[in-house]
A and B are shown apart, each in its own frame.
Chain A
Amino acid sequence: AQRVTQPEKLLSVFKGAPVELKCNYSYSGSPELFWYVQYSRQRLQLLLRHISRESIKGFTADLNKGETSFHLKKPFAQEEDSAMYYCALRRQGAQKLVFGQGTRLTINP
Chain B
Amino acid sequence: KAGVTQTPRYLIKTRGQQVTLSCSPISGHRSVSWYQQTPGQGLQFLFEYFSETQRNKGNFPGRFSGRQFSNSRSEMNVSTLELGDSALYLCASSSLRGSYNEQFFGPGTRLTVL
The stretch that binds A, out of B14-22, B41-49, B62-70, B76-84, is: B41-49
> In the complex, what residues of A have CB within 8 A of residue B94's CB?
95
> In the complex, what residues of A have CB within 8 A of residue B105's CB?
43-45
Cα distance A52–B100 when bound, in Å?
8
Cα distance A51–B98 when bound, in Å?
13
Chain B: number of interface residues, binned into ranges: 20 to 34
Interface residues of B in 32-50 (CB under 8 A from A): 33, 35, 42-45, 48, 50
Given contacts A43-B107, A44-B90, A45-B105, contact A99 B42 (CB under 8 A): yes
Using a Cβ–Cβ cut-off of 8 Å, how many residues does chain A contribute to the interface with B?
Answer: 18
Given contacts A95-B56, A99-B43, contact A49 B100 (CB under 8 A): yes
Query: Count of A-B contacts with CB under 8 A?
Result: 50
A97 within 8 A of B: yes
Which of the residues A45, A95, A98, A101 comes within 8 Å of B48, measured between beta carbons? A95
Cα distance A88–B102 when bound, in Å?
13
> In the complex, what residues of A have CB within 8 A of residue B25's CB?
none
Interface residues of A in 81-102 (CB under 8 A from B): 86, 88, 94-102
Cα distance A96–B50 when bound, in Å?
12
B7 within 8 A of A: no
Proximity string of chain A (53-88) to chain B, C-beta cutoff 8 Å, 1 when within and 0 when not = 000000000000000000000000000000000101
Given contacts A43-B108, A94-B56, A95-B94, contact A101 B42 (CB under 8 A): yes
> In the complex, what residues of B have CB within 8 A of residue A10's CB?
none
Given contacts A95-B31, A95-B33, A96-B56, contact A46 B102 (CB under 8 A): yes
Residue of B with least CB distance to A99: B43
Interface residues of B in 70-108 (CB under 8 A from A): 90, 92, 94, 96, 99-108
**A residues lining the B interface (CB < 8 Å):** 43-46, 49, 51-52, 86, 88, 94-102
